[in-house]
A and B are shown apart, each in its own frame.
Chain A
Amino acid sequence: MLKMTHLSKVYRTEVVETYALRDFNIDVKEGEFVAVTGPSGSGKTTFLTIAGLLETFTGGEYHLDGIEVSNLNDNARSKIRNEKIGFIFQAFNLIPDLNVFDNIEVPLRYRGMKAAERKQRIMESLERVGLASRAKHYPAELSGGQQQRVAIARALAGSPRLLLADEPTGNLDTQMARGVLELLEEIHRDGATIVMVTHDPELAARAQRNVHIIDGQVVELSEDPRFHSVHAVADGAHG
């Protein structure tokens, strides 16, 4: 699903070159739930922005769903972001001027989807996150946990191949964070591929696999055997 090989990202100024990622290698299989951890400045957010095609990289290779993305132009990258990737941001990133329904509709409109199909998908995704009754509410009228659920609904509505979550519970209290995490686990059990960046070890422990980054390189990979059966069940269910 997501494979980076010898990938590097260098930020250059007139006087200094800074490697955000160096010889970075990762392979996320379809249906996996991977947590990417690391200290501040380790490069985990850079990894996420490159994985989500929000930024370009300097060297190496990146295959997303079988497509080598390094030579894609801006329009093609936008199309892939729209159709294959669902984003869940730490700050939710809902558009404050639009209500819940319209917020979820944003990526679907960019896809050129017909109104009836958009409506059906929006209502399905809202029901899935338990907020169908809040479709006409504005983000400011919702709690943080509800806003993050709307953001998850927005990510799910487009049926993405990959969900990228950037500290999805970072702005939530413990109870709300637990609810959001349970929702992500449920989505994963349904077969979604999730890559989650977090600095919270407890949160990372809930993932199927942990990838630890230090100084822009993957230094440790750990796999939780508990998830093999889940993964197998999910594969079987889809198979």
Chain B
Amino acid sequence: MTMHPILAALRKHKAGVVLIALQIALTLAIVCNAVFIIGQRIERVNRPTGLDESNLFLVSQQWVGAPSGDDAASVEKLDSLQLTDLAALRALPGVASVAPINSLPLLNSSWNGAVDHKPGDTNEGSFHGTRTTYYFSDDQALSTLGLRLVAGRNFTAADVGHQGFRDNSEPSVVILTRALADKLFPKGDALGKVIYVNGSTKPTTIIGMVERMQVPGTGTWTNSFVWNATLVPTRMDANFSRYAIRAKPGQLDAVMRAVTPALYKANPMRVLDDDSVRSFAQIRDKAYQADRGMAILMGVVALILLCVTAAGIVGLTSFWVGQRHRQIGVRRALGARKIDILHYFQIENLLIAGTGVVIGVLLALSLNMWLMSHYEMTRIPVLYVLTGVLAMLAIGQAAVFVPARRASNVPPVVATRAV
């Protein structure tokens, strides 16, 4: 069976052919882009933060009656409260490591700024450089968070200082993520180099590099600096505090239960509620809730579209089989085998679906370009479009199979029956 007679017959049924081809084209365009967006969301949701996330949890608390000013006495008082908490937490059985920290990856609460090769101009009032997120912590940050040091050294106790919540940070040393270090020093020689933090005129030396650490923000606005993190060896003193805690393997739940009583025992003048103690798994879960929801919604929409298109193909083919019932009988009488009739409808569908996917590819690329120009979308890889094309053709063949098989079972004797 060749194409010519099928094409000749299709020319006589233009309306149905055009409608189904357009439906296939639209489905392909929407499904390709939807699957691409879903793929991007899944990639985002599953990307590693750079932390060893197992056995890690975060405690956030607020003191009651603690000073809220930025004067030296208040800062010292707040720092002593924080040191008391750290000592209490580090003494808990099952705790491997504890570090004070202002935020964590995926927490959606960040301290952002910029680092530069040049000192800032104090007259300018603003600063330039490479965008980054600051993590304020101490010498136990790397071990607590499970960050992998790939160059240089860790902070020592002597590097660690403390400052008020609203004080400008002017650290002597910092540890950068490799991504940030490479952006600042593309030759890969960042270690030991001097940078300036947030337009400061005081030089800061890069003493180490960690392999990877994600910024706290999960929105697409962080895409340009998602791996640009700067670790500052400073305890941030405010009337609230956060502690990252690594439990020993298998003791996460027990330690999470133990921290609240331990902190109240150390100082009852504080507020700790149900959300104050969260495992990193819970933080990750909450951070990507919207992404998961969007992925599921788009997946459902894509699935419904595919089902509707498949149903359309089944419907049209069934209609045509009914309409051509006698014609099929005549073909059988003239020597067509069952398989010839089956192939006829399969090839016919392949021609319609083929036309549809050609238009669909153009539509998919156009839709992608529109999304790129209006939203923060990247170019759809060819693989997605090719997979979409093959999937649409396969769905077309699957959808046409049942009515085509019904057609192949039309007996040749139908040709002799009265019209």
Contact = CB atoms under 8 A, between A and B. Distances in A.
B413 A105 contact: no
Interface stretch (A82-90, A126-134, A179-187, A207-215): A82-90
Contact of A93 (B5, B9, B338, B415): B415
A74 B335 CA distance: 10
Contact of A109 (B1, B8, B12, B332): B1
A75 B331 CA distance: 13
A106 interface: yes
Given A89-B415, A97-B12, A102-B5, A52 B333 contact: yes
Interface string B8-19: 110111000000
Interface string A45-58: 10011001111000
A81 B9 contact: no
Interface in A133-155: 154
Contacts of B332: 78
Contacts of A107: 334-335
Given A45-B416, A98-B8, A93 B330 contact: yes
B327, B330, B337, B419, most chain A CB atoms within 10 A = B330
A11 interface: no
Nearest to B339: A75
A102 B8 contact: yes
Question: Which of the four size classes fits the interface of chain B?
Answer: 20 to 34
12 contacts: A52-B333, A78-B336, A79-B335, A81-B334, A89-B330, A89-B415, A93-B415, A95-B9, A97-B9, A97-B12, A98-B9, A107-B335
Interface in A24-81: 45, 48-49, 52-55, 74-75, 78-79, 81
Q: Please list the 8 inter-chain residue pairs (A to B) with the smallest Cβ-Cβ separation, ordered nearest first.
A: A82-B335, A97-B9, A107-B334, A110-B335, A54-B413, A97-B12, A54-B412, A93-B330
Contact of A54 (B9, B13, B326, B333): B333
Contacts of B336: 78, 82, 110
A53 B326 CA distance: 17
A146 B5 CA distance: 21
Contacts of A48: 416
B333 A87 contact: yes
Contacts of A105: 5
Interface string B317-337: 000000000110011111111
A178 interface: no
A239 B326 CA distance: 40
Given A74-B338, A93-B326, A49 B8 contact: no
